[in-house]
Structure 1
Amino acid sequence: MLPAVWDYIVVGGGLAGTTLSSRLHGYNSSLQILVVEAGGDASHDPSILWENSTNLVHGTYDWAYLTTAQENLNGRHIDAPAGRCLGGGTAINGCEWMRGDATDYNDWADMVNDDRWGYDNMLQYIKRSEEWFSTQNEADHGQNGAIFVSSPLYENRTYPLSSDLMESWQQLGVPVLENTDMNTGNNVGLGQLNQNRRRGARQVANTRYPLDGVTVLTHTLVQSVLVDTDGDTPTATGVILANGTEYQAREVIVSGGSYRSPQILMLSGIGPRALLERHNGDTQFALNKSFFFGRLDTNCHCQITVKFEQPQVGRNFLDHFQFDQNWKLVDPSKDYAIGSGNHLFTEPQYSWGAHIPFVVSNPVPAAGIAAAIETDEGTPPDPDTNFYLRNVQAMNENNVGFAAHTTLGDGVHIDGTHIASTIVGLKPSSRGSITISSARIENGPIIDPNYYATELDKYSWRTGLRNITQLMLGNTTLGRSIIASETPPEGFEPMTLDSTDEYLDSRIAHGAFSTYHPMGSCSMGKVVDTDLRVIGVDGLRVVDASVIPIPFGAHLQSPTYALAEHAAAIIAGAGNNLI
């Protein structure tokens, strides 16, 4: 029999919601916890488990959102995937495990004036989520955590060009990190790629953070949070589903992710007043019925009543985006690349992970940062206080892989003739928004990352493109004898050491796309406090990457696990020193 009032209702069973619910139950098994998830359970579906799986982005478990037309990317609508199942993005992501730099966490803590979110304190939660493959740098890693993390070298996945690649980066002045470890709190330099795969199989969050003892409703959409405004302070009292069913709770925790969490707050009457009032009294059909898994009442009259005006909901939104290239080998007969016929690549471990041995995270010159910020803001920045200048930090991530990209419109196939590169912009200064198109949860949010809108972003990206071109074509081991040229998409000349700013901008506008790292749309310090409570509303929290208040220089999987671990400890009153 279901309880009349739940202790906690968690809206969304993705990475954060699953981790949070599992840990809360672990702290106190008497708690009555209800998780409401829009999708099903994908965790044992073989079509998503492996590196070569094709049922990921655009697949069965992807919400398959699109952004608004991006003005600075040739007006393109960019894919914005999000997991629609228990475990959320852990069912469809690339499995990269990069926690970021200590400065990311410390900048977060400084912004919200709470050292609990700084690196020294967050390390225990990172460790709690981690089962590291090695005892090297033991003080920096968890050995008994929930998620197994591996590396190419540990799996005996070596590549003919690995040493040449490392040497070439060093020739450009890139330091090699201690034990080639990107996950010690210092990520500026070269380290191994880490992925949370065990012998190739992905680990979906609900298989590592079990929901035994937690009640889970799958294939169920929450329309909004019920908010009582009769008292002095608005108070969340439960949720109403899209089919009209209501559940009561002592506390509601929204874990819908950076796209859906702000939408749910707005549909609950918490958000910018003018936007909410615009949708007061909406009556319309769902724009995409595939988003809905329960009963669809097409005569439903949905309306939004403003319960608490909060103009920051959906603001401060940002997303990493990336740019891929293919580079033609001088002599493909040397069997350097995947598809070449090299028998080495037929060994089973080469199917266990990405064909990327190393990751390089680079800063960009401070003088250029300062000049770009002055262009954007009209005044010179203070180097002692400016977010981008007060610390040396990774602005770009660079990956070189030994399997060609096949979706760039350049006619390249995985036939051993090319290797590939990817650049990810880690610290965008452009800010976008999440808004709503109607008062119905079935209609997805309006996603506008506003990519590439600042001079700082342009400067950082141009620097990154020139760095990768120097690696491939400059005075390096790769450039002198191994790489012939870039193979560009149709309509472009190859990138060269002399490519102009205008040319580089045109390539970004044509080819950049999301890295699927949305964050910031319910930012801590603006929408939630440092205990994850929605400011101005009792009994309501947000726990997911939407609360991250800064451009976080990492792939968000590892930081979000740590965030959810920390949130569970805060909510349970478990305190610090868990390990």
Structure 2
Amino acid sequence: MKHSVFTTLLGASLLKSAAGFGSRIANGKTQLLGNNVGILAQNTTFDYVVVGGGTAGLTIATRLADAKFSVAVVEAGGFYELDNGNTSQVPGYGGKYLTFNDLSPSPVLVDWDLITEAQPGLNNRQIHYTSGKALGGSSALNDQIYQRSTKGAYDQWVDLVGDDNYSWENFLPYLSKSPQFTPPNLAKIGVNYSIAYDASVYSSTGGPLQVSYPNYFQPFDEYLKTAFASSGLAEIEGLASGHLDGYAASTLILDPATQTRSSSEASFFQTALDSTSLTAYIKTQAQKVLFDDDKQATGVLVETNGATYTLTASKEVILSAGVFHSPQILMLSGFGIPVLSDLPGVGQNLWDHVFIFTNHEMDLTTNSAVLSDPSLQAVAAEIYLSNQSGPLTGIGGSFIGWERNNTGLSNATLAALATNFSTDWPYYEYLGLSSGSNPTDEPSANNYMFLTTALQSILSRGYVSIRSANISDPPIIDPNALSTDAEKELAVAALKRLRQFAEASRRHIRESNPGSDYTTDSQILEWIQNNGVNGYHAACTCAMGRANDSMSVLDSQTRVYGVKGLRVVDASAMPLLPPGHPMGSIFALAEKTAADIIEGI
């Protein structure tokens, strides 16, 4: 295997130092990892049973355990550090999961290996939809980008659910509660770099999630920054202050000392091991939520290696199984057939961004060979281990741009956007990724990069449904991507904008994909439909909303309508997919819900 040098060098070192494995001394006591792992195939009672140990699940479970409640977390996966080696820990390996078009069965133990239905808007292609199957969930697999949405988007959330606790001002304490922010380390990045950020929107008491900057910026980063500035984008103070109307260096969920991924498992769960009795049932699949005759959720039927048993919840069951599996479990628990509570919105209203990757040859060194050339891997690994720097510390690009740009959009499209989105909602996200894609005739090239756009103003809506009454059968997933004329216009305009940035960088040689043969709008659209992909940002399939909205599944405290003692807390619970990367908002929703529960709401 081409990456064997890198894996051997990094794997042993990182696993030896990984917190939480085996035994250790914490707070003066011997801590055994096994104490926090549930005894399988044994009926047990807890105050709260959380289904899903992902981004939201481990956050809410840890906060409840901190409040001295007994809490069980049911997780179908295990520890990604063990099931996936160092691949999930090292940021530079994140590109391994950009496997949108790989429909063959995945050997990756930490991926649910979900495949969408054929997408008419993407020329009837199916997309491999990576979703985290591990403690940490998708925070163990994603690009680690931590940012927040816009003030107007949160106000739109308020309007949809009738609860001003989701306004920017009121939601900010929850947005600020999880992350411990560390400023950029210019001694390692380079003192000549200018990195704008606003520390005031973070809390000095935030944590345990680590939010910081990689200790290395790619050679093209400054040129992309120049391209953004010369093309009309303004520099803004980071991506956490409630506005996305320019460009900034992105923060990541990243431990600033080790430069390793700070997932919900590496932060919340590892913290809980030291001070709580939080219990994780790993490699365990929730089958359905159980109810009594009064429609009170009483627990969860689970299965481990063929053995089924019950985890009883004396207070509440909390579904945090993710945007696809939370609605699936609801449907199998009486929110489909047979009907316990008639909620037609379960599984509906799926939002997702559309990503478009263009590939470019540059006249400077990029990362396009680091993952394929053993000698380059060895150099990168040594710098990473000895100095916590180099190209493996980041995701391959630092500066992200956002804008509302009307160029190329019809009046009908502009009217649709104005009707559906707040006035500060960006149409586009732009990102440069150093991994690139080497052409077949240059397999060891080291100068290709992706310029990427993500459509933010999504009008298409999809759905999730059950394939059978067996939880082991993957759900039917149909994002209905790029199904509107407005989104097709946005996509074409966005690709043209990427070309402008490439030229403005002054280090561009050629566009290798799609290439110069694609010039007309129809040609560009055809290429996009053959190459565009879903964005791994799906949300809203158990959306909260007002009680008089027949499509609402949850109230604004994430409680499921029509039953008692059941909540849904993950991306599926959001009433909209806010612009940007949703992870920061998901952490905040979990923080708010935990606070609501602790306060007796």
**Scaled by the length of structure 2, what TM-score is found?**
0.79
Residues 162-171 or 181-190, more deviating:
162-171
Q: Distance in 1 between matches of 2:299 and 2:558?
A: 17
Aligned residue among 453, 456, 465 for 1:435: 465
SS in 1 for 2:470: coil
Conserved 8 A contact 1:141-1:184: no
2:278 is matched with 214
SS in 2 for 1:121: helix
Shift in Å at residue 321 of structure 1?
A: 2.5
Percent identity over the alignment is 28
Conserved 8 A contact 1:404-1:413: no
Conserved 8 A contact 2:146-2:583: yes
What is the identity, as a one-letter code, of the residue corresponding to 1:315? Q
Shift in Å at residue 308 of structure 1?
A: 1.4
Aligned residue among 26, 45, 50 for 1:10: 50
Count of aligned pairs: 509
Deviations along 1:476-534, whole A, 9 cap, x unmatched? 352xxx32321126xxx5266xx222112111111112221110100011100001000
Aligned residue among 310, 334, 347 for 1:246: 310
Aligned residue among 511, 518, 522 for 1:502: 522
Q: Distance in 2 between matches of 1:172 and 1:245?
A: 60
SS in 2 for 1:48: coil
Deviations along 1:120-146, whole A, 9 cap, x unmatched? 122111211111122952221134422
Conserved 8 A contact 1:325-1:405: no
Aligned residue among 207, 218, 232 for 1:145: 207
Residues 319-328 or 526-535, more deviating:
319-328
2:437 is matched with 405
Q: Where do residues 31-180 of structure 1 align in structure 2 (5 Å cutoff)? A: 31-43=69-81, 45-53=85-93, 58=106, 59-134=108-183, 137-143=198-204, 144-152=206-214, 155=215, 157-178=216-237
The 1:382–1:461 alpha-carbon spacing in structure 2 relative to 1, beyond 3 Å, is: closer
Is 2:563 the counterpart of 1:537? yes
Q: Distance in 2 between matches of 1:91 and 1:417?
A: 28
The 1:495–1:22 alpha-carbon spacing in structure 2 relative to 1, beyond 3 Å, is: farther
Aligned residue among 236, 239, 244 for 1:187: 244
The 1:10–1:139 alpha-carbon spacing in structure 2 relative to 1, beyond 3 Å, is: same
Gaps of 5+ in 1: 277-304, 374-379
Is 2:399 the counterpart of 1:358? yes
SS in 2 for 1:125: helix
Shift in Å at residue 19 of structure 1?
A: 0.6
Conserved 8 A contact 2:453-2:494: yes
Conserved 8 A contact 1:396-1:425: yes
Is 2:576 the counterpart of 1:550? yes
Deviations along 1:3-24, whole A, 9 cap, x unmatched? 8643211111111111100001
Q: Distance in 2 between matches of 1:365 and 1:75?
A: 29
Q: Distance in 2 between matches of 1:327 and 1:260?
A: 37
The 1:72–1:183 alpha-carbon spacing in structure 2 relative to 1, beyond 3 Å, is: same
Residues 237-246 or 88-97, more deviating:
237-246
1:395 is matched with 427
Shift in Å at residue 327 of structure 1?
A: 1.3
SS in 2 for 1:438: coil
SS in 1 for 2:252: coil
2:477 is matched with 447
Conserved 8 A contact 1:404-1:414: no
Shift in Å at residue 176 of structure 1?
A: 0.9
Shift in Å at residue 369 of structure 1?
A: 6.6
Q: Distance in 1 between matches of 2:367 and 2:541?
A: 40
Shift in Å at residue 196 of structure 1?
A: 1.3
Deviations along 1:212-266, whole A, 9 cap, x unmatched? 31122111111111123x34xx322222224442233231111110000000000
Q: Distance in 1 between matches of 2:332 and 2:355?
A: 32
What is the identity, as a one-letter code, of the residue corresponding to 1:63? W
SS in 2 for 1:124: helix
The 1:367–1:72 alpha-carbon spacing in structure 2 relative to 1, beyond 3 Å, is: closer
Shift in Å at residue 413 of structure 1?
A: 4.3
Q: Distance in 1 between matches of 2:566 and 2:407?
A: 41
Aligned residue among 292, 299, 322 for 2:355: 322
Q: Distance in 2 between matches of 1:347 and 1:312?
A: 50
SS in 1 for 2:121: helix
Q: Distance in 2 between matches of 1:426 and 1:558?
A: 16
SS in 1 for 2:176: helix
The 1:25–1:335 alpha-carbon spacing in structure 2 relative to 1, beyond 3 Å, is: closer
What is the identity, as a one-letter code, of the residue corresponding to 1:163? E
Q: Distance in 2 between matches of 1:194 and 1:96?
A: 6
Residues 506-515 or 526-535, more deviating:
506-515
Deviations along 1:13-55, whole A, 9 cap, x unmatched? 11111110000111x21x2222111111224642421134377
1:302 is matched with none
Shift in Å at residue 159 of structure 1?
A: 4.0
The 1:410–1:434 alpha-carbon spacing in structure 2 relative to 1, beyond 3 Å, is: farther
Shift in Å at residue 165 of structure 1?
A: 2.2
Conserved 8 A contact 2:559-2:568: yes
Gaps of 5+ in 2: 1-38, 100-105, 185-196, 546-551
The 1:159–1:440 alpha-carbon spacing in structure 2 relative to 1, beyond 3 Å, is: closer
Is 2:259 the counterpart of 1:226? no
The 1:176–1:254 alpha-carbon spacing in structure 2 relative to 1, beyond 3 Å, is: same
Q: Distance in 2 between matches of 1:371 and 1:486?
A: 31
Conserved 8 A contact 2:403-2:429: yes
The 1:342–1:261 alpha-carbon spacing in structure 2 relative to 1, beyond 3 Å, is: closer
The 1:535–1:366 alpha-carbon spacing in structure 2 relative to 1, beyond 3 Å, is: farther
Q: Distance in 1 between matches of 2:376 and 2:318?
A: 51
Q: Distance in 2 between matches of 1:108 and 1:370?
A: 26
The 1:259–1:477 alpha-carbon spacing in structure 2 relative to 1, beyond 3 Å, is: closer
SS in 2 for 1:39: coil
Q: Where do residues 447-466 of structure 1 align in structure 2 (5 Å cutoff)? A: 447-466=477-496
Conserved 8 A contact 1:227-1:307: no
2:409 is matched with 368
Aligned residue among 494, 511, 515 for 1:486: 511
The 1:411–1:364 alpha-carbon spacing in structure 2 relative to 1, beyond 3 Å, is: farther
Deviations along 1:126-185, whole A, 9 cap, x unmatched? 211111122952221134422222224xx2x2444433322222221111113xx12211
**Scaled by the length of structure 1, what TM-score is found?**
0.82
1:377 is matched with none
Q: Distance in 2 between matches of 1:472 and 1:357?
A: 16
The 1:412–1:96 alpha-carbon spacing in structure 2 relative to 1, beyond 3 Å, is: farther
